[in-house]
């Protein structure tokens, strides 16, 4: 994709009086030499994989070899069905489900990474199902992908390079932007700038500190945090709230913060939660079992 800024992407959509998704699909079609129908079919296949991961994570308790993943999604879903039918509760269940399927070596879609794989499906599929926007899902995911590419070009989507802000934070921004695309008939492309900026501001500085170096604790529940962050920021912008700092400037700030983070807080399992006494004990037990 030729775009390197959120501003340029939005301006292209406004100039041509089309949605951001239309701009992205046209750009991808030209770059890859594929017709738009083929691109849409490929995206739908990825959405189908996401739905399968949600179903798997909610219908059966997921348990990883490390035992750090212990079926939180299944347990939460059972509670939710009896106690809470809200959109937020559904998003929580689905984010847990996909993230746990990933931790248990199941099939997921990295969006943009495996460690953040629960955020986009939890937010977009739940919202689309709830408010009858399933016909807009493919478009929404193209918009999400464009935001992810721009963040990757100007900052990072790698926890090892920029901390968890780069993985779950980026996914949160992608999901919020995609929600705007779902409601493109009601919302201007300009709203994408505000939701991307707001979601990233909220998550700036989030470290990557996986216990035992595994994408389980605190990674699974951070998928929940960033899913709700995306949904909350979208709702605020939809209500008319704005942020004065442009998304492109926030992305650059995220790059600066990521560069300033010490290596101990970038996927090395040497700092943060991974460096607590209990976490180190857990890691030792896991490695002894493997040995």
- 4 DSSP assignment: -
Of 8, 13, 6, residue with least CA distance to 189: 13
Of 132, 139, 112, residue with least CA distance to 13: 139
| Intra-chain end-to-end CA distance of the chain, in Å | 45
Tell me if 49 sits within 8 A of 107, measured CB to CB.
Answer: yes
Of 77, 124, 85, 122, residue with least CA distance to 102: 122
pLDDT at 289: 85
pLDDT at 258: 98
Domain-by-domain residue ranges, the chain? 6-290
- What whole-number distance in Å separates Cα of residue 281 and Cα of residue 117? 27
Q: What is the pLDDT along the chain (291 residues), one digit of tens a residue?
A: 789 999 999 999 999 999 999 999 999 999 999 999 999 999 999 999 999 999 999 999 999 999 999 999 999 999 999 999 999 999 999 999 999 999 999 999 999 999 999 999 999 999 999 999 999 999 999 999 999 999 999 999 999 999 999 999 999 999 999 999 999 999 999 999 999 999 999 999 999 999 999 999 999 999 999 999 999 999 999 999 999 999 999 999 999 999 999 999 999 999 999 999 999 999 999 999 877
- 157 DSSP assignment: S
Enclosing H/E stretch for 248:
helix 247-260
pLDDT at 15: 97
Q: How many of the other CB atoms lie within 10 Å of CB of 88?
A: 14
| Helix, strand, or coil (residue 266) | strand
Q: What are residue 70's DSSP bridge partners? A: 63
* Phi, psi (deg, nearest 5) at residue 155: -140, -105
pLDDT at 209: 98
């Amino acid at each position: 994709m030729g775009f390197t800024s959120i501003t340029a992407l939005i301006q292209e959509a406004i100039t041509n009086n089309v949605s951001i998704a239309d701009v992205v699909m046209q750009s991808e079609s030209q770059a890859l030499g594929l017709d738009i129908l083929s691109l849409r079919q490929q995206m739908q296949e990825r959405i189908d994989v996401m739905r399968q991961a949600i179903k798997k994570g909610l219908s059966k308790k997921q348990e990883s070899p490390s035992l750090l993943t212990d079926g939180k999604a299944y347990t939460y879903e059972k509670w939710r069905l009896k106690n809470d039918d809200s959109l937020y509760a559904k998003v929580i269940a689905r984010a847990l489900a996909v993230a746990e399927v990933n931790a248990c070596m199941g099939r997921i879609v990295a969006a943009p990474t495996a460690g953040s794989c629960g955020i986009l499906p939890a937010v977009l599929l739940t919202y689309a199902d709830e408010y009858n926007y399933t016909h807009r899902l493919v478009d929404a995911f193209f918009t999400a992908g464009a935001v992810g590419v721009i963040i990757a070009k100007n900052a990072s989507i790698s926890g090892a390079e920029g901390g968890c802000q780069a993985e779950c934070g980026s996914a949160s921004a992608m999901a919020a932007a995609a929600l705007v695309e779902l409601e493109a008939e009601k919302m201007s492309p300009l709203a994408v700038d505000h939701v991307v900026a707001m979601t990233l501001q909220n998550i700036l500085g989030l470290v990557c500190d996986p216990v035992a170096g595994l994408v389980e604790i605190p990674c699974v529940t951070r998928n929940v945090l960033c899913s709700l962050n995306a949904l909350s920021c979208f709702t605020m912008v939809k209500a008319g709230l704005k942020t004065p700092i442009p998304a492109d400037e926030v992305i650059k700030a995220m790059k600066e913060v990521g560069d300033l983070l010490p290596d101990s807080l970038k996927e090395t399992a040497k700092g943060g939660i991974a460096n607590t006494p209990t976490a180190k004990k857990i890691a030792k037990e896991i490695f002894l079992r493997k040995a």
